[in-house]
Structure 1
């Protein structure tokens, strides 16, 4: 795009600022009101003080076992089961689409595993972020090497979490099937010693909230040293995320939960619930963010019902057309000069749909490298505060916010115009 066109875009943007700001403020107020309305019907998941105390006692025993070593006297059939689970995990860990589908299958087979639905929806967001890098706007904002770096960062996080968590979910299902605990096999799957007491207690007590928080803690610690603080990813990727997070919204997660209403309460069109994390590189912030997402998903009946229906009905492809087909298309449109298509987060009259490819059309599968060895868990006392409460976010309706994000992204792409 020529410099003159960029100047025109900025001038038009400045002239439209008062009206846009007014519309944004009004939409923000409506979203806040609707969040409050939904909160009136909330039934937040609760962390039991007694269950938390019992878990911390179990973790102290796990610490002592770590110091003396863990025996691995497994029977031949147990080794066979471990090989089966490892094979199933490898089969489903091909790419973001196969992982996301595997989480969904686990949840609808074992709905007490709340974390599986949370992981399914968060993994969908990971896939959308991946395909955005080849979609309508980001190829104009980021050069190809930058986009590849971001993709590999997202892919590694997604793959490592799945490779660690999915075997645990399968081992739980096998334990239920056989009517006995098989969690003494967790070391054979490379799972942290932190999770042994967690799963054993869940099998006895069925506390879905406690298990979900423990899995959030475990998976964030699992990727902390392997990806987030890994020098191989840290310099380039983190600078990009810091610089562009306000535009790319890689630090946000949304759950589609409805197609809107005609009464004006939440606006028309798509309904999205979600949150934005401010400090991705802070592990405590990521854990608390995951807890708030979980509380929102399983504490707001309308969000849970809508997100469950969406997950059950819509197969994940990685394209944002999965949840917003009135905004996005999966097929690449003909190459034309970039034009302004949006007004207030909605398509202008006669404007073509925005391009959002499926994952299979955007990125090839990546060869899965084994995770770096080591157990992050050393002391349960340092984790006790995470089990104190499950805070419910006060504002989570993001339909209006999402429209503003799209407008900002389009403006940035049209202004910069780099290919």
Structure 2
């Protein structure tokens, strides 16, 4: 609540004293009108057909993390002006890696008593919800461009928050990818806030468990964008640490930071896209570092002591990181919970506060975090060995 008050104060300052106060005030005025609206447009037969076609295509691609991730990339390659589609593709790749981590070697060695399904369901539900909300918006935009008609008035018929209509209308006029990306980040994080993050089912069984709080177990505190270094051909990582996942404002800030990392340097963006196009997403971390990770499980994996790969690479077996399709079936989801999150202006300030992160090589940070995980595993094994004579 306090954060919401602060955000509204900051928004007021932007409207009065900000550098782009006229443009800010105009969009804020449109959003203020949208907050109180309850648009339910009457559709023609043709418009109903468009809506049904979009929803059917969304259901087709919303089968699992692999199909969602591929759909985002395909859309971006067709419509590269929609930057958010590439950001969604890369973040969805990370979501798939985290889903597979739950069945991987590290998780098994650290948290063998944890109910794995709960962690997977948390990740899968958020991934499914975001795609189901955002992908119809992308398809409607593509339909608008193809037909030469502005179809933004159909957004409510697709179940999209009233927050997005003024932004899409403005994007159709200005083609500002940054504003649209920020809006979609805000929208999707608010969309999952009550449905997943604040949902008691996940808050009690996942978010506030010791395993999730340490974050390193699932790698949820890191989002990485692999790319091939031009000089050496080696796969390097861009990315950042995700802090305070339970905080809506923090998740939005992280999304904007990731967007800046992805698009601020054209050469880096091109290298990341090249990796994404050339590398099929399987959910295994062997997708980007096959010399360290393997999707093939060794016999009696946990019977032998752990051989660290990041602390000491020589002679170590690769870390088991399974393909998603090998360890998790497709999920039949409960219907989306009803309701529009946009009932006040507390998140609007995030539209007008661009991130200023300078993208840097994240590889060393990722390696250091992985070394920490390995130290935890080795310490756990040592303690188990010391305790064995007393059992």
TM-score after normalising by structure 2: 0.87
What is residue 400 of structure 1 aligned with on the other side?
364
User: 5 Å matches for 1:31-46?
Assistant: none
Report the alpha carbon displacement of residue 144 of structure 1 after superposing the two structures with TM.
5.5
User: 5 Å matches for 1:15-414?
Assistant: 50-64=22-36, 66=37, 69-143=38-112, 145-240=114-209, 242-259=212-229, 261=231, 269-336=234-301, 337-342=303-308, 344=310, 347-349=313-315, 351-380=316-345, 382-394=346-358, 396-414=360-378
**SS of aligned partner of 1:379:** coil
In the aligned structure 2, how far is the partner of 1:313 from the partner of 1:383?
37
In the aligned structure 1, how far is the partner of 2:245 from the partner of 2:111?
20
Whether the aligned pair in 2 keeps the contact of 1:112 and 1:208 (CA below 8 Å) is yes
Deviations 1:35-54 (A, max 9, x none): xxxxxxxxxxxx96654433
Report the alpha carbon displacement of residue 392 of structure 1 after superposing the two structures with TM.
2.3
The worse-fitting range, judged by mean Cα deviation, of 70-79 and 118-127 is 70-79
Whether the aligned pair in 2 keeps the contact of 1:321 and 1:356 (CA below 8 Å) is yes
Whether the aligned pair in 2 keeps the contact of 1:327 and 1:354 (CA below 8 Å) is yes
Whether the aligned pair in 1 keeps the contact of 2:292 and 2:309 (CA below 8 Å) is no
TM-score after normalising by structure 1: 0.81
**SS of aligned partner of 2:286:** helix
The worse-fitting range, judged by mean Cα deviation, of 332-341 and 104-113 is 332-341
The worse-fitting range, judged by mean Cα deviation, of 209-218 and 383-392 is 383-392
**Number of aligned positions between the proteins:** 362
Report the alpha carbon displacement of residue 245 of structure 1 after superposing the two structures with TM.
1.0
The worse-fitting range, judged by mean Cα deviation, of 110-119 and 397-406 is 397-406
Whether the aligned pair in 2 keeps the contact of 1:134 and 1:357 (CA below 8 Å) is yes
Report the alpha carbon displacement of residue 145 of structure 1 after superposing the two structures with TM.
4.8
Deviations 1:181-233 (A, max 9, x none): 11111111111000111111111110100000000000000000000001111
Task: Name the CA shift for 1:239/1:340 in 2 (closer, same or farther; >3 Å).
Answer: same
In the aligned structure 1, how far is the partner of 2:181 from the partner of 2:122?
24
Report the alpha carbon displacement of residue 247 of structure 1 after superposing the two structures with TM.
4.2
In the aligned structure 2, how far is the partner of 1:176 from the partner of 1:399?
39
Can you give the 5+ residue segments of structure 1 that lack an aligned partner in the other structure?
1-46, 263-267
In the aligned structure 2, how far is the partner of 1:243 from the partner of 1:395?
27
In the aligned structure 1, how far is the partner of 2:56 from the partner of 2:113?
34
Task: Name the CA shift for 1:270/1:74 in 2 (closer, same or farther; >3 Å).
Answer: same
Deviations 1:345-404 (A, max 9, x none): 56323x222211110001111112211000010233x23421233122246422112112
Whether the aligned pair in 2 keeps the contact of 1:297 and 1:304 (CA below 8 Å) is yes
Can you give the 5+ residue segments of structure 2 that lack an aligned partner in the other structure?
1-18, 385-391
In the aligned structure 1, how far is the partner of 2:22 from the partner of 2:283?
41
Whether the aligned pair in 1 keeps the contact of 2:220 and 2:242 (CA below 8 Å) is no
The worse-fitting range, judged by mean Cα deviation, of 327-336 and 121-130 is 327-336
Whether the aligned pair in 2 keeps the contact of 1:297 and 1:303 (CA below 8 Å) is yes
Whether the aligned pair in 2 keeps the contact of 1:345 and 1:402 (CA below 8 Å) is no
**SS of aligned partner of 2:200:** coil
Report the alpha carbon displacement of residue 412 of structure 1 after superposing the two structures with TM.
2.2
Larger RCO (alpha carbons 8 Å, 6+ apart): 1
In the aligned structure 2, how far is the partner of 1:207 from the partner of 1:163?
24
Task: Name the CA shift for 1:54/1:261 in 2 (closer, same or farther; >3 Å).
Answer: same
The worse-fitting range, judged by mean Cα deviation, of 296-305 and 370-379 is 296-305
Whether the aligned pair in 2 keeps the contact of 1:100 and 1:124 (CA below 8 Å) is yes
In the aligned structure 1, how far is the partner of 2:306 from the partner of 2:379?
11
Whether the aligned pair in 2 keeps the contact of 1:330 and 1:356 (CA below 8 Å) is yes
